[in-house]
Amino acid sequence: MNLDSHIRKADVFLEALPYIQNFRGQTFLIKVGGSAMEEQSLVESLLRDIVFLEAVGINPVLVHGGGKAINKAMKDAGLEAKFIAGMRVTDAETISIVEETLARVINPDLVKRIKFLGGRALGLAGTSVFQGKRMLATDPATGEEHDVGFVGEVVDCNTEVVELAVAGEVVPVVSPVAREVGSANTLNVNADIAACALAKKLKAHKLIFLSDVLGVMRDPKDNGTLIPTLNTDFVGQLKREGIISGGMIPKVDSALDALRGGVGKVHMIDGRIPHSVVLEIFTDKGIGTEIVL
């Protein structure tokens, strides 16, 4: 046995102590995008981080996306996926594919895997948590508004079951759909918007978006320079210039909305880096892009 290497391991482990002491009892809303769920070993590393957080007394709440899996299911059904400003154009056929993919494939799979890792988890359909109303998608360059069908924004969240789960040391795993206020319709909600609404309602200490990029980039196509900190004015400028586009638009908008709504901190990190959540939470420097007001 090499005693030195064991002691080094213990040192590394104990570096987390002040963070654990600081964050115990606080809620961390983690949004995992479909683009960070492509590689199974990375999903496992993320879920292991989440089980670890729960085990040390931090309260992780997971909101998942599934855009890529929905694209595939649409393709299998002979439908073409179309997005405007990061929002899926969602007709009646599409919303049933969205619901089916989230409720039957992605959500139960995440719950099962958390349990397999020794954690406890509760899968929740967003329709039992989010109340929504229809929204239009706004083109960031022209300001033009587009009808995108059964797509909603969140007007309120029913957090009773989520809070009961958290109190019982169970990780809530929530899908991004809402019940339309005043009807029985299901609305498709961009998962960043759903995560933001829930983080605000739960007064989360931190909201973390995991995606398939290092953070917000100056030249995303080139995997160019990472922007470590981004504020409201800079977000506006980068959106107008088209540097922030597509799926990054609802992410930055939700990040700012969450901060205005009282969420303590918002970070965008790279789900392709194993254990990125633990690295972000238990190190001083953190990784990815921090959004500030």
Ligand X SMILES: Nc1ncnc2c1ncn2[C@@H]1O[C@H](COP(=O)(O)OP(=O)(O)O)[C@@H](O)[C@H]1O
- Contact region with ligand X (CB under 6 A), list: 15-23, 198-206, 213-221, 255-263: 213-221
Whether residue 264 is annotated as binding a ligand: the answer is no
Cβ proximity of 194 and 238 under 8 Å: no
Asked whether position 247 contacts ligand X2W by CB under 6 A, the answer is yes
Asked whether position 212 contacts ligand X by CB under 6 A, the answer is yes
| H or E element, residue 246 | none
- Enumerate residues 6+ apart whose C-beta is below 8 A from 60: 27, 28, 30, 50, 53, 54, 171
Asked whether position 132 contacts ligand X2W by CB under 6 A, the answer is no
Whether residue 71 is annotated as binding a ligand: the answer is no
Two tokens, residue 290: 């921090």
Beta carbon nearer to ligand X2W, 186 or 282: 186
- The amino acid present at 74, given as its one-letter code, is M
Beta carbon nearer to ligand X2W, 114 or 189: 189
Question: Among ligand X, ligand X2W, none, what does residue 245 contact (CB within 5–8 Å per kind)?
Answer: ligand X
User: What minimum distance in Å lies between the beta carbon of 74 and ligand X2W?
Assistant: 9
Question: Among ligand X, ligand X2W, none, what does residue 66 contact (CB within 5–8 Å per kind)?
Answer: ligand X2W
Beta carbon nearer to ligand X2W, 191 or 202: 191
| Separation CA 217–CA 259 (nearest Å) | 21
Supply the angle between the helices 248-260 and 191-201 in degrees, to the nearest 10: 10
Contact string 10-49 vs ligand X (x = CB under 6 A) = -----------------------xxxx-------------
Whether residue 88 is annotated as binding a ligand: the answer is yes
- Contact region with ligand X2W (CB under 6 A), list: 14-22, 32-40, 238-246, 256-264: 32-40
Question: Among ligand X2W, ligand X, none, what does residue 140 contact (CB within 5–8 Å per kind)?
Answer: none
Asked whether position 251 contacts ligand X2W by CB under 6 A, the answer is no
What secondary structure letter does DSSP report for 262? Answer: T
| Shortest-Cβ-distance residue relative to ligand X2W | 65
Q: Which of 260, 184, 267, 273 is nearest to 229 (CA)?
A: 267
Q: What angle do CA 65, 67, 70 make, to 5 degrees?
A: 115
The site that binds ligand X (CB under 6 A) totals a number of residues, namely 18
Asked whether position 88 contacts ligand X2W by CB under 6 A, the answer is yes
Whether residue 120 is annotated as binding a ligand: the answer is no
Task: Specify the pairing of strand 27-32 against strand 59-64.
Answer: parallel
Asked whether position 123 contacts ligand X by CB under 6 A, the answer is no
Map 186-221 to HEC letters: EEECCHHHHHHHHHHHCCCCEEEEEECCCCCECCHH
Burial call 180-196: b when 16+ CB within 10 Å, e when fewer: beeeebbbbbbbbbbbb
Query: Could you count the other beta carbons within 10 Å of the beta carbon of residue 153?
Result: 18
Asked whether position 216 contacts ligand X by CB under 6 A, the answer is yes
Annotated binding site: 66-67, 88, 188
Annotated binding site for substrate: 66-67, 88, 188
List interacting residues with ligand X (CB under 6 A).
33-36, 65, 67, 211-213, 216-217, 220, 243-248
